[in-house]
Amino acid sequence: MDKLKEIKNFLNEKLNKKQRIVILIALTALAFLILTKENKNTEVTVKNEENTGNITETEKYIKNLEESLSDIICAITGEDSVKIMITAENSYEKVYAKETEENGEKKGEAYVIVKNSSQSQSALILKEIEPEIKGVAVVTNKAENFLIKEQIIEAVKTVLGISASKVSVVPLYSNYK
């Protein structure tokens, strides 16, 4: 409480009445903005994992990553094909813009709808959140070569932005015979 009195005395000594009123109005406006901002939802996150027999967004994303990594690793090893498996921690998500309207006591929420050039309508996507990569397994004939193995690990780390501890590079089973 003493601190509050010190601040009040400081402001009374340093600021004239007009300046104190301006500061009070500014603080009131700021508080009003914060309170109204809390009452309005402007976005909603929707997971796209409804699997009706079709491939999900997450599965498409992982498959594309596996194919791209396969091309890169084949370029490193000189092989025609390698086996790659990527696991994800979570699913692909889209965050849609959403409006909240208050009419008296009623609150209504609706997605923000946009029309594209062909006049079809869709919800406005604010951002897309890609799945977090949990781990990568690479099976290749060249895994026994230490230099190539390190190059593969470095490429996977760089492309996916993950640590080396999440990458496993092993030789093909036929190499053990």
Read off the pLDDT of residues 58-90 as tens digits, 9 standing for 90 and up.
Answer: 898 899 999 999 999 999 999 998 999 999 988
Read off the pLDDT of residues 123-161 as tens digits, 9 standing for 90 and up.
Answer: 888 888 888 999 999 999 999 999 999 999 999 999 999
> How far is 62 from 65, CA to CA, in rounded Å?
5
Mutual orientation of helices 17-39 and 2-14 as an angle, nearest 10°?
A: 130
Average pLDDT for 96-105: 75
More confident residue, 176 or 170: 170
pLDDT at 109 over 80: no
pLDDT, residue 40, reads 46
pLDDT, residue 94, reads 84
Contact 112, 126 (CB under 8 A): no
pLDDT, residue 55, reads 76
